[in-house]
Amino acid sequence: MGDVEMRDADFTTIDLLRSEGVEITPHLSWTVGTTVREAYHRETGKLPAKALRTKTDGTGSHCFAIYPEWFRPEALRIIRQIVKATQALAARQGRLL
């Protein structure tokens, strides 16, 4: 699978995390990225296209999975579920300290 040029309607999981106003950490972006990729693979039988983009921290670049617009609702559902679970875990851990 080669690199693709990103169309305006295509998106990455980082795009969606930013649109949701979520603080992006390496662990969260990896968890979301892996989970969304697996859901896309289950739905389509193939892996998402990739495009070379600047890394989230602004240094260097690497390939990001690029998803078509029709997959946005499912990707958002997954992201919201992971963010909610992460926030709940952080709240419980905070009470333990």
Q: Which amino acid is at 12?
A: T
3-state secondary structure the chain: CCECCCCCCCECHHHHHHHCCCCCCHHHHHHHHHHHHHHHHHHHCCCCEEEEEECCCCCCEEEEEEECHHHHHHHHHHHHHHHHHHHHHHHHHHHHC
The reply to whether 29 falls in a domain is yes
- The model carries a pTM of 0.80
Range of 28's domain?
16-88
The reply to whether 6 falls in a domain is no
The reply to whether 24 falls in a domain is yes
The reply to whether 72 falls in a domain is yes
Q: What is the pLDDT of residues 77-97, one digit of tens each?
A: 999 999 999 877 666 666 554
Among candidate residues 23, 30, 34, 36, the one with its CA nearest the CA of residue 90: 23
What is the C-alpha separation between 38 and 33, in angstroms, rounded? Answer: 9
The reply to whether 50 falls in a domain is yes
Low-confidence ranges of the chain (pLDDT < 50): 1-3, 97
The reply to whether 30 falls in a domain is yes
- Tally the domains of the chain: 1
